[in-house]
Structure 1
Amino acid sequence: MRSLPSCSAMAAASIALLQLCFFTLVSADDHSSRALVIYPRTDKLIAPTNTPFVLTCVGHGGEPSLFNSFKWRNSRGEEVKSNERIRISTEVGKTMLLFDVPSKSDSGIYECESNFQNSEEYKAKIEITFFQNIEWENCPVVQSLIKGRFDESIHCKVAASPSAQLSWKKGNKDIDQQRYVIENHKLKLRYTASEEDGGEYQVSAFVQDTGKFEFRTINVNIHTSPKITELQDQVEGTEGEQLEVICKASGNPPPMISWYDPKRRNLSNVGGYIVDRNTGQLTISKVNKEVDNGYFQCVAENPAGRDEKSLRVKIKEKPRIEVFTNITVDQGNKAIFECKATGVPLPMLYIRKENMNSKDYIIEDGKHQFENSTDNSRTTLKMIVNNVRRSDGGLYFCAAENSAGKAEQVGHLLVQFAPDLNKTIKEVKTWATRPVNLTCVVEAVPNASVSWYFGNRDLTEENFNQYRVYNDPLGHNKLLVHPDNTVYGKYWCRAENSQGTTSIDIKLTQAFIPDAPNQVDFKNSTPNSIRFVIREVFDGGMPILGFYVIYQKKNDPLPSEPVYFDTPYTIENILSDLQPDTEYGLKFALRNAVGNSDYSKIFSQRTAVESPPTPPKFIYDEDFNSPGVGDITSSYSTRYDVRWYPAEDNGREVESYELKYYEVVSTGINSYPQSQWQKAEHANVKQTFIDAKDSPSYSLTDLKPGTHYQIELRARNAIGLSDVSYLVFQTKGEFSKSSC
């Protein structure tokens, strides 16, 4: 049996057969159909400059890989090599000539060459013309015209090859030939530019040979030249202080503002100055008279033009007082104050004394005279004080004031005068061995020396055991005396300075205890108290400081402890906590700084029997007069707050108060107050009781506006009711919110 061939043998045979077929096909290929083809497939073409473009050369009529050795040649037959503008890219069966940025010089015939199987040579060529495409070289989409200016134009320059033709429209309408003329690369106005020339323009560029067409819209704004509308002619600044000025300008677009100082420096970038170019504000941080005094220039600028205007800056200086000194003058002479000050403008000068208001000043009179003088940089004020007295001494203030501010400086007038001893106490008392100071109060300028004398003895020079001279912390000269029977009598103090000598007598006398009082007046007594006033006493030469009272019931073997009163003995005093209807014996002793007097003789006095309380007394505000006369007015329309002093109980404690009130009308009788008023017809009597432990007051409510009322008030104790106290008042005439 015959065997089949192996798989590997069959595969090898197949490959051989395929190779044979391929070579047979190649050999049998028709040479006439084999060629190179350049794309775009045409003999001639045109293309725009500056736009990337590519020529592709492809082998046809055979296996692409068998086309090799591709080349490109230019019109001069030179092989084209890759450079920065032209690149050659070759792939299997084809080659590409790439123009990255073609120009007109690249126009011409380009030929592609290639070999087939490294033996047969094929060629293809194409003619290409590069033209310049439409380019907007100088044709801004936003332009401006300056209002009122001649020869204004809207520019639009177009580059193209072949040349482009331009056409213009405004607002999609044909251009008004009467107003505009089309010139090379621009649309020119025949007249001055105005607001109607603003708006939207359309410009078209067309190249007939290439069929290229471009369209552009131009927005035209009408600009107006800057005009400074707000700037003061002159401003004033104060040395060392901040100054702000404003410069405003109109124009379209809004102009930017610049400031120049007197040295023509642009202040936008100069330290110490702040320029807001939008608002036109110039801020000088600290005005300097050396730099800033003069003319500043405000400049407003926009694309339409420029305007400028000057501003005068005058620098003021705050007043400065150079001279105002202290002076010393003898009493009776003239005092001359001189005040000198500088400032711009020159300040006014005033002088005031320390006790005057800061806004007041001394004016010329018989006492004071003034002299004013000025020079270029200083003003001077002299004040002459005639016949100087001690009261003229003290602090004086010179004030200098101008529009930049105010300055003040203090000076002192020292008035020299002879010693004045009028404040010295001329009589001094002591007793027993109590040391005592004699004080010589000396007022003197300059300070005075002080001497003490007793009789003909100079106590300052000699050394005595009983005397010592010294100065206290207040500067008063004192003579300390240790008394015995020999030191009483007349001393004299002598003070001396450069202005004179003054002396004064001081009498040292002996003080004693008071005498016992021998006259006492007794007043109306109550069941629990005795009222009295001590009369005609001898005080021993010293003020009475108080007194003692000892009292004793009749037939009681022991008296009371002394009761001390520190109230003046000359007024009515009250001895309290006594028993009703009881006879007492009373003795009195006076007290001064030396000691207590003996007790007086016994004065007998009997307390009253127990009885109803005394009538209570009403309390009135400051503007109220006597009760019952109808001139007490409530602060409210429907209410009145009545108050009273607690009643004296007359031996039994007050338990309560009975209060009645009712409407009254005038009787027309001007006698005793109660007879002036009578109860109104149909008036209701309202009654209330107030516990004595509560506040002695009561609020009457629900009253009628503008109406008179009478109050009856009585106090009650265990014995009975007091007499009635009356009060008439009137409510306000109309309702008030405060009555709520």
Structure 2
Amino acid sequence: MEKLVFVALICVILSESNACFTSNHAHFTRMRIGSRFYQECRCDEPGSEGVNLKWLDSHNQEIQPLRPGIESNVYSEWVDEDTYRLFISNLGRSISGDYKCVTNHNGQTYALTYNVEAYDRPYFINTNETQYVVSGKNVTIFCEARSETDPLIIWYKQDGLTKIKDDDKYETSPEGLIIKEVTNDDKGLYKCAASDLKTGEEIIRDILVEVISVPEITEIVASPDSNVVAGGILEIVCMATGSPHPEYVWRKIPKYPLSIRNASFPSQLSHWKQEANKITIYDVNENDAGAYECTASNVAGSSSGSVNIDVYFMPEIIKYDSVVAIEGSTVQIVCGAQGLPIPQISLNYLGEYNERGLGWDMKNVSEIEAEFYLTFFPVNRSHEGVYICNASNFLYTDQKEINLTVLYAPKFGKPFEHAWGWSGHNTNLSCDNESNPPANITWMYQGNDLSEEEQTEINNIMADKMHNNPLIIENISLYGTYQCVAHNEFGEDKKVIALRQGFIPGAINNVTITNLTSTSVTFSINGPEFVNGPKLKAYKAEYDEVENYNITDIHINRTWSIDRPFRLDRLRPSTVYYIKFAAINDVGDGPWSEVYDFATLEKTNFRSVPLEPVWEADVEEAAAFERKLKWKQEELVDSYNIRLCPMYNGIIEEEICKDKTIESAAEYELNELDSNTTYYLELVAHNSNGSSTPAHIMFTVPAKEESLLSAGALIGISIVIVFLCLVLLDVLLLLWRRQGIIAHCCHKKKKNKRERQERPS
């Protein structure tokens, strides 16, 4: 149809251009957008030589001929010297308007005007070929068209022959066709026809209507449960109805403000997987707690539902800061932990202190976090140390250490002490104190009856030692009063030490015999009445038989520590002895006492009380490492009593001592000793007349060293290694020299086989 219109238009234009125009004429032409426009302008009038033809566009600009290499949608072209053509390749609204062919005749200007108007055919907007309507609702099937004038819309149903009219079911509107209370019968093919009332053109669009329903979530199920233990696998399934089948989107609503709990699900969860309406979370952790919202959507709409998930997770202590406090202030230790179920928290002190002035409290900070508070009213140095914070639920117990450091001024245990010095001995004066931070030490000296020059000289000598601890007094003539001042930023304390000259002990004047037998004697020694020096630490004796005492100066010596029985044994029966005593301190040995005499008893068949048992040499080492006691056997002993007591912090634990009575022997196996423990042991000898004084030792059993393999296992491994080495050596001999046990066996087997083959049948 477009081609016929175009050809007819060309014929009309050609018929009008057979003669030269000498007057103004106007022609009106309407063509569809995108059409081609062609027009010739010609003058054949006699005497028209020199006629100048021009084509002007809608802006009265001359239209130039098309030149080589230049493209143009509007251009002119000379057919011959009297014919001038106009071309429009693609007509559009922007170039619509008056196009003029202009000429001059007899001094006058004439124009042929062609009003070219482009118009558009009807077209659809907002009209999808497939449209969805929701069941049970009033919906609109959209069909809109545009043209030169408002187009006429006519609807047809199914076969395209049945015209739809407004009634109780349908209603037409500018936007489309309204279908009331949609049912499944309303689905199918509809036709929308749009006609341009000005041009008469018509377009038709087929629209397929699908009836759909809004999704409805029926159930959301968490497996194994909505309460899951961290580390497990959680599956959540969302079940919904709807047509068409809905698509599912999950969103996480955080429950706890932890590390990633503010992240929207699942964009920041790397351990999950979604399959259609199911999500699976692997290795569940506490960050996975919260509400999981499922949204089921299709073109009809959407609906949402959610399920709450709680994750049981192990306690973790998250607040355990160490504390530094000044003695006398009020301070608080805080231990905070999180977990589900919410953990129980306690604080244990590694040590002992007075619990007066302490307060404690515990509160739940959130659904998963609790805090424990220990308050000191006020804090003192005995509170300093390590506190163990324990947080527990049924899954686990977490522990952390909290250090409490107490800062305090120096403090001396004794404000005044005596010290002794003597010629040839360096004396150490201690300024040990309790302080935190450690105190700075300053010494001051005040001599006894010193001149000013002597005091100045002493101060110069002590200048480089005034901050030492201990202070070493090398010049023993510096007796007098020493003051130590310990100070730090929290205060100071002073200690006075009186350094006095020490002397050896005086003579012993009082010795008595407490026990005498045919072979032994035990003394009671009273020390000197006054000791002007360090305390006594031992007594010594020098003794011999009377017959030898005045003949030689070489006599038997015996020294006892101050806490041991003063006893001599292995004496001869019925013998008179001379003996003298002296006291000993750190300065040296005191003078001998006067000489005492005593006579041992005559040896008879009458049995007396046993002597104190005598240990064999190195008995402490044998008890500790060999777990064996050895002593010297006495003739008059019929049994021994052994008392074994463990010691802790230097104190004998009397309540757990063990007593054992054995027959007369010279050794005993210690089978029930604990490693890394100190023991006190007494050995008492018995006979029918009574018991001896106890002999005692102290020893420490070392910590047990665990062996990786027993002795039997080591021997077995050694045998296997030797056997394998022998086998390897025999294989090497077989391969190298054809010798060895394996080679011999193979040779013998071959020989026996050959003999059987050669034997006549």
TM-score calculated relative to the size of structure 1 = 0.41
Higher share in helix:
2
TM-score calculated relative to the size of structure 2 = 0.40
